[in-house]
Amino acid sequence: MHSLTLPTPGFGTYRLKGDDAKLAVENALDVGYRHIDTAQAYENEAEVGDAISASKIPRGELFVTTKVWFDNLSADKFITSVQNSLTQLNTDYVDLLLIHWPSPDNKVPMEEYLHELKACKERGLTEHIGVSNFTQSQLDQALSILGKDHILTNQIEVHPHFQNKELVAYCQRNNIQVTAYMPLGVGKVMENDVLNDIASAHDTTPSAVTLAWLSHKKIVAIPSSTNVNHMRDNLTAKQMMLTAEEIEKIDAIEPQERIVDPDFAPDW
Active site residue 113: no
Indicate if the alpha-carbon torsion angle 241, 245, 246, 249 is positive or negative: positive
Decide if 60 contacts 92 (C-beta within 8 A). no
Strands of 162-211 (E only): list them.
177-181
SS (H, E, C) 1-48: CCCCCCCCCCEECCCCCHHHHHHHHHHHHHHCCCEEECCHHHCCHHHH
The partner residues of 153 in beta bridges, in order of sequence, read 177
The partner residues of 68 in beta bridges, in order of sequence, read 99
Choose the catalytic residue: 42, 113, 170, 181: 42
- Residue 265 in 3-state DSSP? coil
Decide if 118 contacts 94 (C-beta within 8 A). no
At residue 206, what is the residue type? P
SS (H, E, C) 187-207: HHHHHCHHHHHHHHHHCCCHH
What is the rounded CA–CA span in Å between residue 163 and residue 23? 31
For residue 160, say if its preceding peptide bond is cis, omega within 30 degrees of 0. Answer: no
The secondary structure element, H or E, covering residue 129 is: strand 126-132
The catalytic site residues sit at: 42
